[in-house]
Amino acid sequence: MSEPAEEGWPCYFSEGVAELLADPQISPTLFSAVAALSVEINETRGDVSGHTASARWPQQRRVPLGENGMLGVAEYVVVADTVEPHCVITRAQLY
């Protein structure tokens, strides 16, 4: 019998990102990119391929948003040292 897969960590949205996603004017492409990022953050426990981290605060990370970063950059924070580890997408800087 195989071992159960480790569960991902919840990925939340900051108030600003939640407002962006709730805006009826948001493009489906941008909405999908942020949603896909939240799933990838969950599945990798914040270790998204291609992320860059702050030298002073390595828990803060940045990833390109959309294909080759054409939509902008998303920032997220990994909160690992808590009873319930999680991540928060804190900002989406759009181009």
pLDDT tens by residue, 13-25:
999 999 999 999 9
- Sheet containing strand 60-65, strands side by side: 11-13, 86-94, 72-79, 60-65, 52-53
49 falls within a domain: yes
4 in any annotated domain: no
Residue 24, beta-bridge partner list: none
On whether the CB atoms of residues 91 and 75 are closer than 8 A, the answer is: yes
Angle made by CA atoms 64, 66, 70, in degrees to the nearest 5: 80
Asked whether the beta carbons of 60 and 22 are under 8 A apart, the reply is no
The verdict on residue 48 lying in a domain is: yes
pLDDT-based confidence at residue 6 (cuts at 50, 70, 90): confident
Per DSSP, the three-state class of 18 is helix
pLDDT at 4 over 80: no
6 occurs within a structural domain: no
Please give the tally of structural domains in the chain.
Answer: 1
Asked if the structure places residue 40 within a domain, the reply is: yes
Domain that holds residue 17: 11-94
Q: How confident is the model at residue 2 (pLDDT cuts 50, 70, 90)?
A: very low
In a domain, 56, yes or no: yes
Whether 19 is covered by a domain: the verdict is yes
Residue 93 bridge partners (DSSP): 73
- Establish if 77 belongs to a structural domain: yes
